[in-house]
A and B are shown apart, each in its own frame.
Chain A
């Protein structure tokens, strides 16, 4: 069974600064996808970025980028130029042959003005 671990329950960052959220996972599969979801206070789950395990190039979406280290089973999220609207719970998730999302426990990110 896959497990996803987020070791930082809470983090904070000053507005306009950069922050990195950590995620590690455990799997014996070779082909899978990794995701970061954002859950703001509104509760809505929003996809931030995804990464295919076979792609060596790290995914980027505007201010969001990942550092994917397949051998180390690490998938961190970097948020550049943090904005107040980035304040949310961030979940790392894995999806492989089981065809269901397995989530980490989440990191609550607070962007400080």
Chain B
């Protein structure tokens, strides 16, 4: 049983396309996140949802839109993909968002925009 699962694991697409990455967690957590890892392996928070409400929205182009249909899912939709969007995107979840809570990560989705 995978705790945090993302689909797809790999995504290759052309510039200008719209794509979605799905994330599901079966841990019963109430907080979910999206992180972006760039080509230099640097990890940065993009979004955080707590009980389906957006609580963190870092400086991310509005082409990126997270959607949380329920507490167990946080999907990432990207419009008009650009070359610079190529990266590994990680979904994570935790029970609450306090400092002491452990975040559990999915296996990442490698997005390549050509």
Binding site for B on A (CB under 8 A): 31-33, 39, 42-47, 50, 52, 89, 91, 95-103, 105-106
Contact = CB atoms under 8 A, between A and B. Distances in A.
Contacts of B88: 43
Given A42-B107, A45-B90, A91-B43, A100 B102 contact: no
A43 B99 contact: no
Main secondary structure of the interface of A (DSSP, over half): loop
Given A98-B56, A99-B99, A103-B44, 15 more contacts: A31-B99, A33-B99, A44-B107, A44-B108, A45-B90, A45-B105, A47-B104, A50-B100, A91-B43, A99-B55, A100-B33, A100-B97, A105-B41, A105-B42, A106-B43
Contact of A50 (B42, B102, B110): B102
Interface residues of B, number: 25
A57 to B, nearest CB: 16
Contacts of B100: 33, 50, 52, 95
Interface of B: 33, 35, 40-45, 48, 55-56, 88, 90, 92, 97-100, 102-105, 107-108, 110
4 closest cross-chain pairs (CB), A and B:
A45-B105, A99-B97, A103-B43, A43-B108
Contact of B99 (A42, A91, A96, A103): A96
Contacts of B43: 91, 101, 103, 106
Contact of A89 (B41, B97, B102, B104): B41
B48 A100 contact: yes
